[in-house]
Structure 1
Amino acid sequence: MRECCAVVDLRQYTLHPGQRDKLIEVFDEAFVEGQEDRGMHICGQFRDLDDPDRFVWLRGFTDLDARAEALNGFYYGPVWKARRQEANVTMKDSDDALLLTPIELGPGYPALGSPRPPLHATEIPRSVIAGAVYHRGSADDGFAEFFNDRIVPVLTGTGAVLTATFETLAAENNFPALPLRDEIVLAWFATFPNDAAYDEHRRRLAASRTWQREVLPEIVCRSVAAPQELRLRPTARSQFR
C-alpha cells in the first residue's frame, strides 16, 4: 500500500455552466500545495470529457486520523479562507464524494513525491484516464474477486493499462462538514496515452464476445445501479496523467 493513499476521497463536482476552467485555475493555483501542506496528497484532478460542467479529483491520506487532521487544517485554514468564495461560486453540487481504500495501485499511480508540472503550467496532457464506478449491494458480495478474475483480463486484453482499483472504506465520515455518499462501490482507473488509444480499446471491448455475453451481463446482475463510466482528461498540474 502506498504510504500516501491508504484512504482516498473520490470527489465529483457538478459546476455551473461555463465555470469549470475558473475552478481549475483556482484549484491548480492555490489548492494543490495548499492541501498538500496540510498532509494530503492531491493525486489527480481532471476534466470530465463527457460533461463540460463536471470536475473530478482524487486526494489521498495515510490513514483516517490523518484525514481528519488534514481536512480540519485546510478548511479552517488561511488558503481555503482566502480563495473559497472563488471556488464555491463555480459549484452547483459538491456532495458527490466517496471514501475509498485501494485494492491495488499500479506503477502509474502517482506517489507522493512524483513530479508535478509547475505553478501556472498550461499544457494539458493528451492522455485519457478512463474507468468506472460499480455500485454494489454489500461489502461481502465477492465483487472484488469477480473484478480481478473476470473483468481485469478483458480490460487488459483490449488495451487498458490499469492504474488503480479502489473499494469503499467502511468507516464513519470523520469530517462531516463534507458529506459522503452512503454506498458500497468498486472503482477502477486506467491510463491511455491519447484519444485514439482509448477509442481503440472501446472498439475492441465492444467486439469482445466474452465482455458482451459473459462479463457485462454479470456486472449488471451484481450491481444495484447502472455503472458510472468515466472518461477524464488530466489538468495541466495533475500528477495522475
Structure 2
Amino acid sequence: MSRTEPAGHPAVIELRQYTLRPGRRDELIELFEREFVETQEEAGMSVLGQFRDLDHPDRFVWLRGFTDMEARREALSAFYGGPVWAAYGPQANATMVDSDNVLLLRPSPAGRGFATDATDAADAADAMDARDPSRRRRAGAAAPDRFVAAALWHFPPGTHHGGELIQDGLVPLLRRTGPAPFAVLTTEPAANTFPRLPVRTGENVVAVLTSYPDENAHRRHLADTTAHPLVRNEILPAVERAQTAAPQLLRLAPTVRSLIR
C-alpha cells in the first residue's frame, strides 16, 4: 500500500457504531489499535477517535475523516483492497454483529469542524488535533481520563430549520456555559462513493461533540445550558417541535490511542 498523507482537515466524517458479539469489545479494540490506525492513515484517511460506549458494553464507536468524497472512495478502496485488511479483516469481522450503523457527516457551515486550536476554549484544543497524529498515545499507555458526549439531533430530511436551531441557537449557548464543542457536524448529502460499506440514508442529523474532564463536568454543563432562559423557553421547545425523534446522547470513553479525548 503506498503511503498517502492522512486527511488533516477532514470535510467528510464517518460516525461508525458497531454492535459486537458479547464480551469481544476489548478484543476488537486491541486489534484495531494495533493494526488499523496507521495503516488506514497511510491509505489517506484520518482515524479521529475510538470509544467504548458507556451505555452499551458491546458497542464500539469510532470516527474517521476524509478530505472529500472522492478521496474517501480512493482511501477506502486502497485500504479494504489491501494486504492489511486481507490479513486481519476476517478477525475483526468475527467480533461484530452489525457494522452498518454509519452516519456520513460534514462540518457544519454555521459551526465548526474539528477544533485545532483554543480559540473557543482550552478544552477544545485538549480534545484533539486532527492535523497531528503524533499526539496519539502508544499502545499500552494509560487510557485518557476523559469523557466525550456526542449529541445527535434528528430532523426531517430536506429541512433546515431544526439544524439552524442547534447550530445558531443552542451551540452558542453551549460555548458560553461550558467547554466549547470540538465539532459540530451535519449530514453529508452526497451519495455513498464506496457502496461496499453501507451508510444510513434519508437522514438529517446534527451532531454536537464535546470533551470533558469527567462525566460530572458534562452533567454540570448540561444543567447550566438547559437552565438558561433562552434555551429553556425558546430554543428547546422549538427544537422539540422540529425534531423527528428524541435526541440521542452517546456517552463515550476514549480508548488509549484515540486522537479525540
Same fold (TM over 0.5): yes
Distance in 2 between residues matched to 1:212 and 1:32, nearest whole Å: 42
| 1:236 corresponds to | 256
Distance in 1 between residues matched to 2:158 and 2:140, nearest whole Å: 41
Residues 115 and 239 in structure 1, CA contact (< 8 A), matched pair in contact too = no
Of residues 86, 89, 100, the one that matches 2:91 is 86
In the TM superposition, residue 207 of structure 1 has moved relative to its aligned partner by 4.0
Q: Find the residue that maps to 1:39 and give its secondary structure.
A: coil
Q: Find the residue that maps to 1:162 and give its secondary structure.
A: coil
| 2:82 corresponds to | 77
Spell out the pairing of 1:38-57 with structure 2 (5 A cutoff).
38-57=43-62
Distance in 2 between residues matched to 1:205 and 1:19, nearest whole Å: 37
What stretches of structure 2 of length at least 5 have no aligned partner?
Answer: 1-6, 118-124
Normalised to the residue count of structure 1, the TM-score between the two structures is: 0.92
| 1:117 corresponds to | 136
| 1:178 corresponds to | 197
Q: Find the residue that maps to 1:123 and give its secondary structure.
A: coil
CA RMSD of aligned residues (A): 1.9
| 2:121 corresponds to | none
Find out whether 1:225 has 2:245 as its counterpart. Answer: yes
**After alignment, is 223-232 or 118-127 more displaced?**
118-127
In the TM superposition, residue 208 of structure 1 has moved relative to its aligned partner by 4.1
Name the aligned partner's letter for residue 101 of structure 1: R
- CA 1:139 to 1:115, structure 2 compared with 1: closer, same or farther past 3 Å? farther
Higher strand share: 1
In the TM superposition, residue 227 of structure 1 has moved relative to its aligned partner by 1.3
- CA 1:17 to 1:172, structure 2 compared with 1: closer, same or farther past 3 Å? same
In the TM superposition, residue 206 of structure 1 has moved relative to its aligned partner by 5.0
Identity %: 45
What stretches of structure 1 of length at least 5 have no aligned partner?
Answer: none
Cα deviation digits, residues 13-46 of structure 1 (max 9, x gap): 1112211111110111111011011001001111
- Alignment: residue pair count: 240
Residues 129 and 189 in structure 1, CA contact (< 8 A), matched pair in contact too = yes
Normalised to the residue count of structure 2, the TM-score between the two structures is: 0.85
Cα deviation digits, residues 52-107 of structure 1 (max 9, x gap): 11111111111111100110111111111111122111111100001111111223
**After alignment, is 216-225 or 142-151 more displaced?**
142-151
Find out whether 1:143 has 2:148 as its counterpart. Answer: no
Find out whether 1:18 has 2:38 as its counterpart. Answer: no
